[in-house]
């Protein structure tokens, strides 16, 4: 006996066979090449992040360790996870427990962590979006999704104005995670609920001279 699903899919298949799709040229004339000064990109990026309820901290490169440690201390993070390729100097002022992540660690065990610290690949100021591409200093996707706190270090030199400019800096073959503020959704009454699909708290440390 044919199921309703098989009937519907069969009719769709027959219809497609009778009316093959015409050749279509997809326009690729994206708006690219936009630039802003460092100060303007920083202001725009910060404005978007704050609007998404992320916590933004700025520092110079040599102040990274102090700011990361302060953020972790203020959030009560005593046990954190880090990707294998993270710059260990960034944790030089942190006095808590640091666990290096690896593919052999089951994802559920990441819930034992108070937070995670990662780097980033590129960011978009216009949308307040941070891109992670799974590089050694960013780690696997689960590491940035399971712990309730994500401290993400962003170099201002990697912040582009718009999405086309940001995407152009990515390696297409690498897995990409897009982060726009802490994880959040709204229920049927439009009540905002945070931490549903990822970290409840996102702290972004922007290094203004890197």
Per-residue pLDDT reduced to its tens digit, 85-96: 999 999 999 999
Note the pLDDT tens digit of each residue in 30-56. 889 999 999 999 999 999 999 999 999
CA dihedral 141, 146, 152, 157 (to 10 degrees): 20
Q: What is the pLDDT of residue 184?
A: 76
- The answer to whether residue 29 scores a pLDDT higher than 90 is no
Q: What is the pLDDT of residue 176?
A: 96
Sheet arrangement for strand 177-179: 159-160, 122-124, 129-132, 177-179
Place of tokens 């090449």: 33
- The answer to whether residue 112 scores a pLDDT higher than 80 is yes
pTM: 0.86
Q: What is the pLDDT of residue 105?
A: 96
Contacts of 125 (CB under 8 A, 6+ apart): 36, 41, 42, 44, 45, 48, 159, 160, 161, 162
What single string gives the DSSP state of each residue in 52-116? TT-EEEEE-GGGHHHHHHHHHHHTT--EEEE-TTS-GGGGTT--SEEEE--TTS-GGGGGG-SEE
Average pLDDT, integer, range 68-96: 98
How far is the C-alpha of 82 from the C-alpha of 159, rounded, in Å? 22
Residue 14 or residue 206, greater confidence: 206
Residue 21 CA: distances (Å) to CA of 18, 67, 109, 138: 10, 55, 48, 41
pLDDT > 90 fraction of the chain, expressed in percent and rounded: 79
Average pLDDT, integer, range 56-82: 98
- The answer to whether residue 21 scores a pLDDT higher than 80 is no
Average pLDDT, integer, range 126-137: 97
Q: Which residues pair with 13 in a beta bridge?
A: none
- The answer to whether residue 2 scores a pLDDT higher than 90 is no
């Amino acid at each position: 006996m044919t199921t309703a699903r098989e009937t519907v899919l069969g009719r769709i298949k027959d219809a497609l066979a009778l009316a093959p799709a015409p050749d279509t040229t997809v326009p690729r004339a994206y708006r690219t090449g936009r630039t802003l000064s460092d100060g303007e990109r920083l202001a725009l990026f910060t404005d978007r992040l704050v609007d998404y309820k992320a916590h933004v901290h700025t520092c110079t490169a040599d102040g990274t360790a102090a700011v990361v440690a302060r953020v972790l201390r203020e959030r009560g993070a005593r046990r954190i996870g880090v990707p294998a390729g993270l710059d260990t100097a960034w944790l030089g002022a942190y006095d808590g427990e640091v666990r290096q992540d690896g593919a052999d660690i089951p994802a559920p065990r990441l819930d034992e962590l108070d937070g995670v610290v990662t780097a980033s690949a590129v960011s978009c100021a216009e949308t307040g979006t941070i891109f992670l591409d799974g590089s050694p200093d960013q780690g696997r996707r689960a590491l940035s999704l399971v712990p309730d706190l994500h401290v993400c270090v962003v170099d201002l030199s990697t912040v582009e104005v718009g999405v086309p400019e940001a995407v152009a800096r990515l390696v297409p073959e690498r897995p990409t995670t897009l982060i726009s503020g802490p994880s959040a959704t709204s229920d049927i009454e439009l009540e905002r609920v945070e931490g549903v699909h990822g970290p409840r708290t996102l702290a972004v440390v922007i290094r203004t001279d890197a």
